């Protein structure tokens, strides 16, 4: 039994959360429907809590006073009957008939300040319901300002160039930041955790659609999900944006209800909101409508093909769309079995809608990743890459202005080592989706391999801006510095990031090779030891460390172990290792083998420092020429 029951419309959850937190800080136990677990009998749970609470706060808003607010109105009626009813206003609204006799306490625009007289009035009403007694154990109030320890523990990390500048200052919105947004995870209100893929997919596809608008900064998925439980103002501050898009999804076999709310992160005030009750087949149209309304609310001129670009490559088939969302979730598991499952799901989506361009593009990408990640030999690797080509080309024939199709083709051309053709596709990707953090990260990686390190680092910094709470953003930055041969800066950045925010740097093997390059062999070996025993990155790093230490017997042991596990699929790594031992002939032979099987590592050939001992060899130069690097 809880002291306080809070009744509100689900779409107002983030606006109600500060009130819940404030009352809990006073020592009261508060029940609100965020606490319903997966599979719970939610109606009976709500009724039980409503009937036992000593005080019922009803949050009246535009939603809860409308026809869609019947649950809130029913709960308010029950609270009136039990004489435990405390009404509060979070919007300026007229209460429904029958609820006007008790004066509602105004909380419009209140954001959690417990010293605010409006909150104190609510607290006094709660105490009256509780018999006039205050709770004895009050929890300390968090400071209203940003605490430096909080910044260090959970925030973006200062780059080495501006070391000493605290926390979020790196990501403060510039003067034009009004056109910046984070799409937070949409809440799954279906009562079934297995439906998470659908609500997560809706939010991700909204990010993808909005990132196609050139004038809009869209925060990447990982960072958006990292602040998913924060209120709008806190989330906006941590992500360096002005606008927050939140929402919820309740899905049944007969109806999909999607609620969306655009909030000004500086004030917590709503800029736009809508609730959609549609058949399951209309979920795709709902996404488009939300994206268009957000663009209009932010005064972004769609112009030209802007509006149509939000839906390019999509489908009108609800089940095909559902299967693609499921395949996306399967790929996140990063196992061979889940990758195969993702291929099955997206193949079925294509069968249901043969004109679903995005499904074709996704299948091409998944096939390449299946080969690169799990092929047991060169022949199998080649088969998966070849199988991907027709799907990428079909995607582009159906939707030539969809970024994902060009991305799929770029990945395929890269793996075929037609680097010039891949570069052409990469440029199209960033032109069509300039605000997509994942595509920009790939762009940073790719231009680095072309030798344009200044552009790579510029893009890496942009990725950090778009995805400041994603560890991959920091790994991308370290990799860019390594490729630029700024090894000391790479080590300093990685160590500083790990010291200030351990959750933001997860790449000990990358740090290990940077340490190798500055002669810190023992520390490099310590980092390599953090990898999995049969991980090729670890084994390669350890072999090169032994080579640098002059222990050729240990090098041979590592190479033999790699050959047992990977066979010729690790030919590029053998070339790196033998080049470091000074065995030029074996290094060149391994490089020839890498070319014969089209080993993916060859993309690094122009910038890889471990190959420097054989860089001027004619056989080395011949392979570089075959790869068709652009001028």
Question: Each residue of 279-305: pLDDT tens digit?
Answer: 766 766 777 778 777 877 776 654 444
Sign of CA dihedral 132, 135, 140, 141: negative
Residue 609 has what pLDDT? 97
Specify the CATH number of the domain 507-631.
1.25.40
Residue 279 has what pLDDT? 77
Dihedral (Cα; 564, 568, 573, 576), 10-degree rounding: 110
Is the distance from CB of 361 to CB of 312 less than 8 angstroms? no
Reported as a single tens digit per residue, the pLDDT across 520-534 is: 999 999 999 999 998
Alpha carbon 86 to its chain's center: 39
Q: Residue 112: left if φ>0, alpha if ψ -120 to 50, beta else—which one?
A: left
What integer is the mean pLDDT of 243-266? Answer: 85
What integer is the mean pLDDT of 580-603? Answer: 93
What integer is the mean pLDDT of 508-513? Answer: 95
Whole-angstrom distance, CA of residue 630 vs CA of residue 431: 19
For residue 274, pLDDT beyond 90: no
For residue 177, pLDDT beyond 80: no
What integer is the mean pLDDT of 257-264? Answer: 86
Q: What is the mean pLDDT of the chain?
A: 84
Residue 443 has what pLDDT? 94
Whole-angstrom distance, CA of residue 208 vs CA of residue 183: 10
Residue scoring higher pLDDT (197 or 7)? 7
Q: Binning pLDDT at 50, 70 and 90, where does residue 546 land?
A: very high
What integer is the mean pLDDT of 218-226? Answer: 91
Is the distance from CB of 435 to CB of 291 less than 8 angstroms? no
For residue 212, pLDDT beyond 50: yes
For residue 181, pLDDT beyond 60: yes
Whole-angstrom distance, CA of residue 427 vs CA of residue 409: 12
For residue 13, pLDDT beyond 80: yes
> Domain residues of the chain, as ranges?
4-129, 170-311, 507-631
* 4-129 and 507-631 share one fold: no
Strand partners, 5: 31, 56
Q: Binning pLDDT at 50, 70 and 90, where does residue 309 land?
A: low
Whole-angstrom distance, CA of residue 300 vs CA of residue 279: 30
Q: Which of 187, 181, 275, 167 is nearest to 229 (CA)?
A: 187
For residue 193, pLDDT beyond 90: no
Residue scoring higher pLDDT (483 or 375)? 483
Reported as a single tens digit per residue, the pLDDT across 311-342 is: 566 787 888 888 998 998 898 877 889 999 99
Is the distance from CB of 357 to CB of 225 less than 8 angstroms? no
For residue 308, pLDDT beyond 70: no
Q: Which of 372, 308, 365, 316 is nearest to 342 (CA)?
A: 365
Reported as a single tens digit per residue, the pLDDT across 71-109 is: 899 999 999 999 999 999 998 888 888 887 778 898 988
Strand partners, 86: 57
Count of residues making up the chain: 631
CATH H-level superfamily of 4-129: Toll/interleukin-1 receptor homology (TIR) domain (3.40.50.10140)
Per CATH, the architecture of 170-311 is what? 3-Layer(aba) Sandwich (3.40)
Q: Binning pLDDT at 50, 70 and 90, where does residue 135 land?
A: low
Whole-angstrom distance, CA of residue 496 vs CA of residue 157: 8
Residue scoring higher pLDDT (138 or 543)? 543
Q: Which of 46, 37, 54 is nearest to 2 (CA)?
A: 54
For residue 471, pLDDT beyond 60: yes
For residue 232, pLDDT beyond 90: no
Q: Binning pLDDT at 50, 70 and 90, where does residue 159 land?
A: very low
Residue scoring higher pLDDT (416 or 447)? 447
């Amino acid at each position: 039994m809880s002291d306080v029951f809070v009744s509100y419309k689900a779409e107002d959850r983030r606006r109600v959360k500060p009130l819940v937190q404030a009352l809990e800080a006073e020592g009261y136990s508060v029940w609100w429907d965020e606490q319903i677990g997966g599979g719970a009998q939610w109606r009976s749970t709500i009724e039980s809590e409503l009937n036992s609470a000593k005080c019922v706060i009803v949050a009246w808003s535009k939603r809860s006073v409308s026809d869609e607010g019947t649950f809130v109105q029913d709960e308010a009626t029950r609270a009136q009957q039990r004489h435990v009813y405390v009404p509060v206003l979070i919007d300026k609204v007229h209460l429904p008939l029958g609820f006007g006799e008790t004066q509602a306490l105004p909380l419009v625009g209140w954001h959690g300040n417990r010293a605010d007289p409006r909150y104190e009035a609510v607290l006094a009403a709660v105490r009256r319901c509780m018999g006039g007694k205050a709770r004895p154990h009050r929890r300390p109030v968090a400071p209203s300002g940003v605490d430096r320890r909080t910044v260090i523990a959970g925030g973006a990390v200062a780059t080495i160039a501006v070391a000493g500048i605290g926390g979020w200052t790196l990501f403060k919105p510039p003067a034009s930041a009004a056109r910046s947004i984070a799409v937070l995870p949409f809440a799954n209100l279906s009562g079934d955790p297995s439906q998470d893929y659908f609500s997560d997919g809706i939010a991700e596809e909204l990010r993808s659609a909005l990132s196609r608008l050139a004038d809009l900064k869209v925060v990447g998925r990982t960072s958006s999900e990292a602040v998913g439980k924060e209120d709008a103002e806190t989330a906006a501050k941590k992500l360096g944006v002005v606008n927050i898009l939140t929402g919820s999804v309740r899905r049944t076999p007969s109806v999909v209800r999607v609620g969306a709310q655009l909030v000004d992160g500086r004030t917590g005030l709503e800029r736009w909101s809508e609730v959609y009750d549609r058949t399951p087949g209309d979920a795709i149209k709902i996404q488009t409508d939300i994206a268009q309304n957000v663009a209009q609310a932010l005064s972004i001129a769609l112009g030209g093909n802007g509006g149509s670009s939000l839906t390019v490559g999509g489908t009108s088939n609800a089940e095909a769309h559902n299967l693609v969302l499921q395949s996306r979730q399967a790929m996140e598991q990063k196992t061979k079995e889940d990758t195969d499952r993702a291929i099955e799901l997206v193949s079925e989506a294509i069968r249901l809608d043969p004109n679903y361009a995005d499904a074709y593009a996704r299948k091409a990408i998944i096939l390449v990743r299946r080969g690169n990640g799990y092929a047991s030999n060169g022949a199998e690797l080649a088969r998966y890459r070849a199988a991907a080509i027709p799907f990428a080309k079909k995607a582009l024939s159906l939707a030539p202005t969809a970024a994902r199709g060009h991305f799929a083709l770029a990945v395929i051309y890269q793996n075929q080592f037609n680097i010039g053709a891949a570069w052409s596709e990469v440029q199209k990707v960033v032109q069509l989706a300039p605000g997509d953090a994942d595509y920009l990260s790939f762009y940073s990686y790719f231009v680095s391999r072309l030798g344009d390190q200044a552009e790579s680092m510029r893009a890496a910094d942009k990725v950090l801006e778009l995805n400041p709470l994603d560890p991959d953003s920091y790994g991308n930055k370290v990799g860019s510095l390594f490729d630029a041969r700024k090894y000391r800066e790479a080590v300093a950045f990685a160590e500083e990031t790990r010291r200030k925010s351990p959750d933001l740097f997860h790449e000990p093997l990358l740090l290990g090779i940077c340490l190798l390059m500055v002669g810190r062999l023992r520390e490099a070996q310590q980092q390599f030891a953090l990898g999995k025993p049969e991980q090729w990155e670890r084994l390669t790093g350890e072999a090169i460390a032994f080579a640098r230490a002059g222990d050729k017997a240990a090098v041979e042991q590592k190479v033999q172990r790699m050959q047992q596990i990977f066979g010729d699929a690790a030919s590029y790594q053998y070339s790196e290792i033998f080049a470091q031992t000074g065995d030029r002939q074996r290094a060149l032979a391994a490089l020839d083998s890498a070319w014969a099987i089209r080993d993916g590592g060859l993309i690094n050939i122009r910038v890889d420092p471990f190959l420097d001992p054989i860089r001027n060899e004619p056989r080395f130069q011949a392979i570089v020429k075959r790869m068709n690097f652009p001028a």
